[in-house]
C-alpha cells in the first residue's frame, strides 16, 4: 500500500481523500526539521506540509521514490522547487482556497485599527473606562493602498470599495483594476496617497526587505499599516520606531521572519506591547472553511497526479491533462531537449503499439509527456523508455477510464 505523510495539522479531509485513493496516511500535528523529515520519509510516496516544514534538496535526495509534495497553503518558498523538478517530484499548492479568509481578516483589522478598539479593549480589561472618540475614525471615504494585486489583493479591493473606501494599488505586473480601484505607477505614489497600507505580496526572494524605514517615512502621518503576506518582507524594527514616534497610528502583523514551530512555543518580537498594534500567529488563512477547502483541493491534486499524470496547477512541472480512454498510459518527465518525443513514439511503434492520445508540455529545463497507448505496456518497452538519456522519471498508470 502506498504511503502519505501529512505534517502541520492538515485538515482531516485530506486524510479521507488520500485514504479513499488507497493510501496509508500518517498525520502529525507539528513540523519536522531536516533530519527528522529525512527519517520520516522512509517508505513515503506523498508528502503534505504547510509553511514551516522545509523541503530541501537534501530531503529530496534522501527519498528518490517520493512522487509529489502538497503545500497545503499558498506559499511554496519553503520547498526547493528546482531540486524537486530535477528529481521528478511534482509540487502542488492551494493558490485560491484561503483567499476569502485572509481578506475578511484584513477588513476586520482595518476597522479595529481605525477605531482603536485594541486600546479600548485593553483599558477596559484593566478596569479603566475610557469612552472617547479621540483617534477613532470611520473607514468610509478613506484611501486604502494595496501593495500586491493578486488573488488576495484584488478581492480585498472589491470588499473595501463596497465598504466605501477609495482603493489604490501597486503591482509589478500590469493587473486589471476591479471596480473603481486605481493603479499607481510607483510604490512611492501609493505610499504618499494612502491612509492605510496593506501588503499582499508573494514569497519571491526579491521581496525580502521590501518595506522598511524609507517606506514608512514616505507614508502619510498617522497612517495605518498591515502585513498579512510574508514575514521577511517587513523590517519590524522600522515599524516599531514608526509606531513609537507616532508617525504610524496603528498596525496589524500576522507573519514574522522567525515563527515558533509548535503550538504553545514562546513568541518573541520587538512589536509586542505596542499601542494599537494587532499581532496574530499566522492565522490569516486559518479558518475552518479555508483549511477544509485547502485540504480537499491539494489532496485532490495529489490524487489526480498519481492516478492520471495530470499536472494542472503544479508549481514546478509543465501543465498537462489528458482525457480519454485506452489500454494503458505512461508519463515521462524528461530534460527539455529536441527529439525526445520522437524517440518515445518510435519505441512505442517498435513494440507494435499505437499512440491513442498524447500531450506534451515544457517548462524551463523540463518536458512532460503523457501518452495513452492501444495495448498494455510490455516490460521491455518501459525499460527502454526509462533508459532514455533524457529521462528524469517514468510512471505507468494502467488502463484509463472514459
Q: Which cell goes with 173?
A: 505586473
259 classed as catalytic: yes
The span from the CA of 159 to the CA of 312, in Å, is: 29
C-alpha distances in Å from residue 382, one per residue of 86, 104, 324, 366, 394: 20, 51, 21, 20, 8
The span from the CA of 300 to the CA of 344, in Å, is: 29
Q: Which cell goes with 278?
A: 494587532
For residue 267, which of 283, 290, 246, 288 has the smallest C-alpha distance?
Answer: 283
The span from the CA of 363 to the CA of 294, in Å, is: 25
Catalytic member of 200, 230, 334, 366: 230
Give the number of other Cβ atoms within 10 Å of residue 115's Cβ.
Answer: 18
What order of strands is seen across the sheet that includes strand 391-396?
355-363, 366-373, 328-335, 391-396
230 classed as catalytic: yes
Please count the residues of the chain.
402
Pairing between β-strand 3-6 and β-strand 46-49 as defined by DSSP bridges = parallel
351 classed as catalytic: no
What order of strands is seen across the sheet that includes strand 248-253?
182-183, 166-170, 143-147, 196-199, 223-227, 248-253, 277-279
The span from the CA of 37 to the CA of 51, in Å, is: 14
For residue 288, which of 101, 156, 159 has the smallest C-alpha distance?
Answer: 101
DSSP 314: B
Catalytic member of 259, 351, 363, 396: 259
Provide the annotated active-site residues: 230, 259, 282
Amino acid at each position: 500500500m502506498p504511503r502519505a505523510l501529512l505534517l502541520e495539522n492538515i485538515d482531516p479531509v485530506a486524510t479521507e481523500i488520500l485514504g479513499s485513493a488507497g493510501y496509508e496516511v500518517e498525520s502529525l500535528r507539528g513540523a519536522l526539521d531536516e533530519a527528522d523529515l529525512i527519517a520520516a520519509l522512509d517508505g513515503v510516496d506523498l508528502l503534505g506540509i504547510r509553511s514551516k516544514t522545509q523541503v530541501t534538496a537534501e530531503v529530496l535526495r534522501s527519498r528518490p521514490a517520493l512522487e509529489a509534495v502538497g503545500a497545503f497553503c499558498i506559499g511554496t518558498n519553503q520547498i526547493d522547487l528546482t531540486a524537486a523538478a530535477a528529481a521528478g517530484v511534482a509540487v502542488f499548492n492551494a493558490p485560491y482556497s484561503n483567499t476569502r479568509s485572509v481578506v475578511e481578516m484584513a477588513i476586520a483589522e482595518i476597522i479595529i485599527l481605525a477605531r482603536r478598539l485594541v486600546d479600548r479593549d485593553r483599558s477596559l480589561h484593566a478596569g479603566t473606562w475610557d469612552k472617547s472618540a479621540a483617534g477613532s475614525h470611520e473607514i468610509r471615504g478613506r484611501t486604502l493602498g494595496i501593495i500586491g494585486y493578486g488573488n488576495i489583493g484584488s478581492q480585498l479591493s472589491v470588499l473595501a470599495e463596497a465598504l466605501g473606501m477609495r482603493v489604490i494599488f501597486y503591482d509589478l505586473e500590469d493587473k486589471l483594476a476591479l471596480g473603481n480601484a486605481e493603479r499607481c505607477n510607483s510604490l512611492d505614489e501609493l505610499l504618499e496617497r494612502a491612509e492605510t497600507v496593506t501588503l499582499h505580496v508573494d514569497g519571491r526572494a526579491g521581496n525580502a526587505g521590501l518595506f522598511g524605514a524609507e517606506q514608512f517615512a514616505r507614508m502619510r502621518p498617522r497612517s495605518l499599516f498591515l502585513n498579512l503576506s510574508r514575514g521577511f518582507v517587513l523590517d519590524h524594527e522600522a515599524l516599531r520606531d514608526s509606531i513609537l514616534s507616532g508617525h504610524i497610528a496603528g498596525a496589524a502583523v500576522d507573519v514574522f521572519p522567525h515563527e515558533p514551530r509548535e503550538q504553545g512555543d514562546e513568541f518573541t518580537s520587538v512589536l509586542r506591547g505596542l499601542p494599537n498594534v494587532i499581532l496574530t500567529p499566522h492565522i490569516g488563512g486559518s479558518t475552518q472553511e479555508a483549511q477544509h477547502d485547502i485540504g480537499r483541493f491539494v489532496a485532490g491534486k495529489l490524487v489526480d497526479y498519481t492516478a492520471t499524470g495530470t499536472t494542472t496547477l503544479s508549481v514546478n512541472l509543465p501543465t498537462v491533462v489528458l482525457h480519454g480512454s485506452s489500454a494503458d498510459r505512461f508519463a515521462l518527465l524528461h530534460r527539455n531537449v529536441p527529439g525526445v518525443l520522437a524517440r518515445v513514439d518510435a519505441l512505442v511503434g517498435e513494440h507494435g503499439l499505437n499512440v491513442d492520445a498524447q500531450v506534451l508540455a515544457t517548462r524551463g529545463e523540463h518536458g512532460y509527456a503523457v501518452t495513452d497507448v492501444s495495448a498494455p505496456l510490455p516490460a521491455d518497452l518501459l525499460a527502454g523508455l526509462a533508459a532514455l538519456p533524457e529521462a528524469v522519471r517514468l510512471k505507468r498508470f494502467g488502463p484509463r477510464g472514459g
